[in-house]
Amino acid sequence: MTVAVIGTGNVGGTLGRAFARAGMDVRFGSRNPKASADAAGDSGARVTSVDAALDGADVVLVALPGNRVVDFLRTHAAGLEGTLVVDAANRMGEAAVNSAADVAAIVPGARYARAFNSYGWEVFAEPDFEGLRPHLLYSADEADRATVEDLIEAVGLQPMYAGPDQADLVDSVLRVLFPMFRRYGRRTAFRVLTD
């Protein structure tokens, strides 16, 4: 699987390195690849231009600041057609925290999944909690479940499927965890118990 990671900060960098260590072909897309070279670390991922990262990618993980997602979609709409866009960005202070409606409007040929937006990057960097792995709630179309679950498992988390078109439900976890970060620290996560 070829994964373009758009965003080389803490979230994008941590996730991209985990994907690469799991054997995926990872390309970090950056407006300034030389300045972002550290994002790949020793994972085997490459840092390149955004256009080069998108070229031939099976999955595009968007880990940009939330206020930059719409501009990214508009600028790179042609490169996103037919691709699975995994939205990990949060548009804090907006009516919709996710970019599901924007992806549908700007790149109608793209598929959309919502994942990796509810935890701090610290959980992605160290997903083991004394032998327990947290669940990560995500939303995707049924046809994309296996792909998104591969990404989640590559990071060391357990996938918890919310169903298709459930980005708002996934965002509800963020609303619960945000106040907890202040009290318990950013390395806070959930496990779901079922029969």
At 112, the pLDDT band (50, 70, 90 cuts) reads: very high
CA distances from 44 to 18, 24, 172 (A): 10, 9, 34
Token code pair at residue 93 = 């202070």
The tens digit of pLDDT for each residue in 157-193 reads: 999 999 999 999 999 998 899 899 999 999 999 999 8
Alpha carbon distance 183, 177 (integer Å): 10
Phi, psi of 161 (to 5 degrees): -80, 125
Section 82-105 average pLDDT: 95
At 55, the pLDDT band (50, 70, 90 cuts) reads: very high
> What's the pLDDT score for residue 33?
79
27 DSSP assignment: E
Helix, coil or strand: residue 113: strand
Q: Give 10: exposed, middle or buried? Use CB within 10 Å, 0-12, 13-18, 19+.
A: middle
Q: Cβ of 182: how many Cβ atoms within 10 Å?
A: 9
Phi, psi of 112 (to 5 degrees): -125, 140
Q: What is the pTM of this model?
A: 0.95
Class of domain 2-184: alpha beta
> What's the pLDDT score for residue 85?
98
CA distances from 146 to 17, 89, 141 (A): 20, 21, 10
The tens digit of pLDDT for each residue in 64-85 reads: 999 999 999 999 999 999 999 9
Alpha carbon distance 131, 156 (integer Å): 11
> What's the pLDDT score for residue 57?
97
The tens digit of pLDDT for each residue in 145-166 reads: 999 999 999 999 999 999 999 9
Q: Tell me how many degrees the CA angle 179-184-188 measures, rounded to the nearest 5.
A: 85
Task: Compute the half-sphere exposure of residue 122: CA atoms within 13 Å on the CB side of its CA.
Answer: 9
> What's the pLDDT score for residue 41?
81
Res 97 pLDDT > 80? yes
Q: Cβ of 12: how many Cβ atoms within 10 Å?
A: 25
At 195, the pLDDT band (50, 70, 90 cuts) reads: confident
Pick from 60, 63, 37: which is nearest to 48 by CA?
Answer: 37
Res 37 pLDDT > 80? no
